[in-house]
């Protein structure tokens, strides 16, 4: 991606806030061989994106600059770049968890890059990018093509039309008339479904690490699985890490609730506790790891 005019034919991509290195190609409804539906297709690693400092309603595509990566940690990917190693992990975990019943995205393809765009829309080869220190040599930049239901995350719920679009998708998935699908029905479904999704990850012996409102879509898919790691074997460590996931998921659920501005404050507080309770009940109802279930039941009883 670039802000600069380029003579060659280009294709416009849709940028969504809080998505700092990906952009939407478009929307097309399709299903996989098991009948799971997808619509939004994006490109991860398409370039760095930030809000325009002079106009907060517009986005700015940031250029890669020489030596930029030197300010990042070991194996950290330069801003806007998707590294093949992380993309492979993301695809591997996505395919693994889809078979476990997790609602998530799918990696459709990896596109190898022969060149990247730097300052002023200039294109340079990957070899030159290594030589001129735009990217470190242990990074292999690629484009990961991904499919979602809705790409919009809980963090995007404030944007015009995002929440309404997601509610419509969920209502259609459930066989309901979107016009009759109430906010409370949507939030109830979301709380129960999110509890089940977290339980699927934990039951498989993993934890996500970053169940923030940026990694949960508005149709309740847990995404960005390159951070997923094994739950520790030691009981205390297992409980600690699983507790982080539960705490973050609850915070994300609360953040979603507060995007419904038609609710009065006293009712919102009452609903928040109710939806958290539904989330926890769903989590334990779907958790099939007996050791972790006992540990987490002790955690919840103490809260």
pTM: 0.88
Q: Cα–chain-centroid distance for residue 190?
A: 16
**H helices within 81-125, ranges in order?**
84-100
- Rounded percentage of the chain residues whose pLDDT exceeds 70: 83
Q: Which helix (H) or strand (E) holds 164?
A: helix 162-173
> Which has more pLDDT, 191 or 262?
191
- Mean pLDDT confidence for 251-257: 93
pLDDT band at residue 54 under the 50/70/90 scheme: low
What was the pLDDT predicted at 267? 67
195 CB-near residues (< 8 Å, 6+ apart): 249, 278, 279, 280, 281, 282, 283, 284, 285, 286
Question: Rounded to the nearest 10 degrees, what angle do helices 235-257 and 183-203 cross at?
Answer: 160
Q: Is the pLDDT of residue 68 over 70?
A: no
- Between 135 and 221, name the one with better pLDDT: 221
What percentage of the chain reaches a pLDDT higher than 90? Answer: 60
Label residue 156 by pLDDT band (50, 70, 90).
very high
Cα distance between residue 134 and residue 156, in whole Å: 31
First to last CA, the chain: 47
pLDDT of residue 129: 87
Residue 237, SS3 per DSSP:
helix
What is the pLDDT confidence band of residue 17, given thresholds at 50, 70 and 90?
Answer: confident
Mean pLDDT score of the chain? 86
Residue 225 CA to residue 228 CA, distance in Å, equals 5
pLDDT higher than 60, residue 44: yes
pLDDT surpasses 80 at 75: no
What is the pLDDT, as a whole number, of residue 50? 65
Q: Answer with the residue of higher pLDDT: 302 or 154.
A: 154
Domains in the chain, start-ordered, CATH in brackets? Answer: 22-148 (no CATH), 154-302 (1.10.510)
If pLDDT is split at 50, 70 and 90, which confidence band does 5 have? low
User: What is the H or E stretch that residue 275 is in?
Assistant: helix 265-286
Cα–Cα distance measured from residue 104 to residue 147, given in angstroms and rounded to the nearest whole number: 9
pLDDT at position 147 over 90: yes
């Amino acid at each position: 991606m670039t802000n600069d005019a380029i003579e060659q034919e280009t294709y416009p991509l849709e940028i969504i806030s809080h998505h700092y290195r990906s952009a939407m190609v478009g929307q097309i409804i399709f299903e996989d061989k098991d009948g799971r539906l997808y619509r939004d297709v994006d490109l991860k690693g398409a370039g760095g994106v930030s809000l325009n400092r002079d106009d907060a309603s517009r986005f700015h595509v940031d250029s890669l600059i020489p030596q930029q990566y030197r300010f990042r940690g070991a194996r950290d990917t330069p801003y806007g770049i998707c590294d093949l190693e992380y993309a492979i992990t993301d695809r591997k975990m996505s395919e693994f968890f889809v078979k476990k019943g997790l609602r998530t995205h799918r990696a459709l393809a990896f596109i190898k890059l022969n060149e990247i765009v730097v300052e002023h829309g200039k294109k340079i080869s990957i070899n030159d990018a290594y030589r001129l220190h735009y990217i470190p040599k242990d990074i292999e930049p690629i484009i990961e093509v991904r499919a979602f239901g809705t790409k919009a995350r809980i963090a995007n719920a404030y944007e015009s039309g995002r929440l309404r679009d997601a509610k419509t998708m969920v209502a259609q998935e459930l066989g309901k008339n979107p016009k009759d699908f109430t906010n409370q029905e949507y939030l109830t479904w979301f709380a129960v479904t999110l509890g089940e999704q977290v339980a699927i990850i934990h039951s498989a012996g993993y934890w996500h690490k970053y169940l923030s409102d940026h990694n949960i879509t508005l149709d309740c898919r847990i995404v960005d699985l390159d951070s997923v790691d094994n739950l520790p074997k030691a009981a205390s460590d297992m409980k600690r890490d699983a507790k982080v996931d539960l705490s973050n998921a609850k915070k994300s659920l609360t953040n979603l609730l507060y995007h419904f501005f038609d609710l009065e404050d006293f009712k919102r507080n009452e609903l928040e506790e109710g939806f958290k309770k539904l989330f926890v009940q769903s989590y334990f109802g779907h958790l099939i790891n007996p050791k972790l279930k006992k540990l987490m039941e002790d955690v919840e009883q103490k809260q």
